[in-house]
Amino acid sequence: MAKIFTDREQYGGANPTPRLEVDYYDIVAPTSCTISINSGAVYTTSETVTLTLSASDFPSGMSQMQFSNDGANYSTAEAYATSKSYTLSGEGLKTVYVKFKDISGNWSAPVSDTITLDTVHPTGTIEINGGAVYTSASPVTLTLSSTDSAQMQFNNEGGAWSSWEAYGTSKSWPLSAGDGVKTVYVQFKDAAGNVSTEPISAGIKVVADTGTIPAAKALDNVGDKEVALLNKAVTADFGDYLYIQEPGDGFSGIRVDKGGFAQGSFVNVAGVMNLLNGERIIQNASVTAGTAGVMPGAVLLLNKHIGGASLNDYTPGIAGLYGVNNIGLLVTVTGRLTKTESGYWFVDDGSAMPYDAVIVGIPLDVSLLSAGKKAELATSDNVVVTGICQTGSIASQTVPVVRLRQDSDIVYYR
């Protein structure tokens, strides 16, 4: 509102200069209103946060502000300030609203900012080589699981932590030097910065290199006779178990109670020696990938030499048979099929003793042959058969069995 004053008597003097007086009425709310929680952070691990505030007003100037967690129910108005300590409640995404008032009483529209409150420390698990008890080599494979983790770090035996790295479910990790029990620790950190607090660890025992399969078979079966065999050739993988053999011309093979490695690959194996159905076996095995080598070929043997005699007091052969013990070895036999019905098939080269009045020859486990391949074959076919020499049982008698791995393991001639 404006008024011009010209009354001489009231304002004195002759010919006074007229003057203009203006009264201002502020009806505009504060502008440029902002709020920032913890300087714009996405997460907070504390319920107490810092609000950074700003607003401007002309001509009245700023007076008060009030806050809300839901945009509907506001706190009691308080003096305007550019910073305020504020308390959140409950986990998860939080929104803080603020309104500003100028001296004339005009309130601004609400403005807001969000932040995620996360005060829960992550937890998780770790396994070494799939939970194996033993290993023959480092590095090992760590299998990890955690909920709400963004990063992880590791150490051996409680030593210095590695640098933080992105969370993953699998990691190759070098163990500390030497043989014996090794322990790997892991810490998990979530996106908010919370770090797991309870020790999370797994252990595994590193076993010294035994050298060769014959050296492993020289150990007895009493107690846990630990062995480690490095870079051995996989001659068969039967799913739940596999067979390994010395590379090149190595004349020794053994069963390992863990599968999952392709025939023709090379592996490192650690476990304990045992005897199963008259056959030496490495149990509680850990198997990891080895390096390339020379694959051994199958050894051609007469029927009467399949299985062979005892190797030592701990490695029995087949009763009544002679020759070098070859149980666990990749072998080739030839002869005539004498039985192709259900159960074992048999191949006879004229050198084997009969099992009864009708069946003669070496038993063949053909369970992995396709139906089409089986249909091609018939009794009296002359065949060349390659497979793993195992032990089996016929009429409660331990016998050598050649187990075929695939269709190409049997070739027939008519």
For range 50-71, the mean pLDDT = 96
162 phi/psi in degrees, rounded to 5: -75, 170
Q: For 205, what's the count of Cα atoms within 13 Å in the CB-facing half-sphere?
A: 15
Q: Would you say the pTM of this structure is higher than 0.85?
A: no
Domain residue ranges in the chain: 31-117, 124-206, 213-289, 299-413
Does the N-terminal peptide bond of residue 139 adopt cis geometry, omega within 30 degrees of 0?
A: yes
Residues 6+ apart with CB under 8 A from 312: 217, 218
Q: Cα(354)–Cα(342) distance, rounded to whole angstroms? A: 18
Q: Which of 12-26, 295-309, 318-332, 371-385 has the lowest mean pLDDT?
A: 12-26
pLDDT at 364: 95
pLDDT at 75: 97
Residue 272's alpha-carbon distances to 70, 327, 329, in angstroms, are 64, 18, 19
Burial class (CB in 10 A: 0-12, 13-18, 19+), 304: middle
Closest CA to 86 of 52, 41, 40, 42: 52
Residue 402, classed as helix, strand or coil, is strand
Asked if the model's pLDDT at residue 22 lies above 70, the reply is: no
Asked if the model's pLDDT at residue 1 lies above 50, the reply is: no
Asked if the model's pLDDT at residue 2 lies above 50, the reply is: no
Question: Average pLDDT over the chain, rounded to whole?
Answer: 91
Q: Model confidence over 256-289: pLDDT tens digits?
A: 999 999 999 999 999 999 999 999 999 999 998 8
Same topology between domain 31-117 and domain 124-206: yes
Asked if the model's pLDDT at residue 10 lies above 70, the reply is: no
pLDDT at 372: 95
Fold category of 124-206 in CATH: Immunoglobulin-like (2.60.40)
The confidence band for 181, taking pLDDT boundaries of 50, 70 and 90, is very high
For range 46-66, the mean pLDDT = 96
The two tokens of residue 11 are: 């304002």
The CATH number of 299-413 is 2.40.50.140
Closest CA to 191 of 94, 90, 116, 96: 116
Q: Which of 23-27, 123-127, 312-316 has the lowest mean pLDDT?
A: 23-27
Into which CATH architecture does domain 31-117 fall? Sandwich (2.60)
Q: Model confidence over 182-193: pLDDT tens digits?
A: 999 999 999 999
The confidence band for 360, taking pLDDT boundaries of 50, 70 and 90, is confident
Fold category of 213-289 in CATH: OB fold (Dihydrolipoamide Acetyltransferase, E2P) (2.40.50)
Asked if the model's pLDDT at residue 67 lies above 90, the reply is: yes
CA 218 to chain centre: 36
- The strand order across the sheet containing 200-206 reads 134-135, 200-206, 180-189, 151-156, 165-166
Q: Cα(31)–Cα(54) distance, rounded to whole angstroms? A: 9
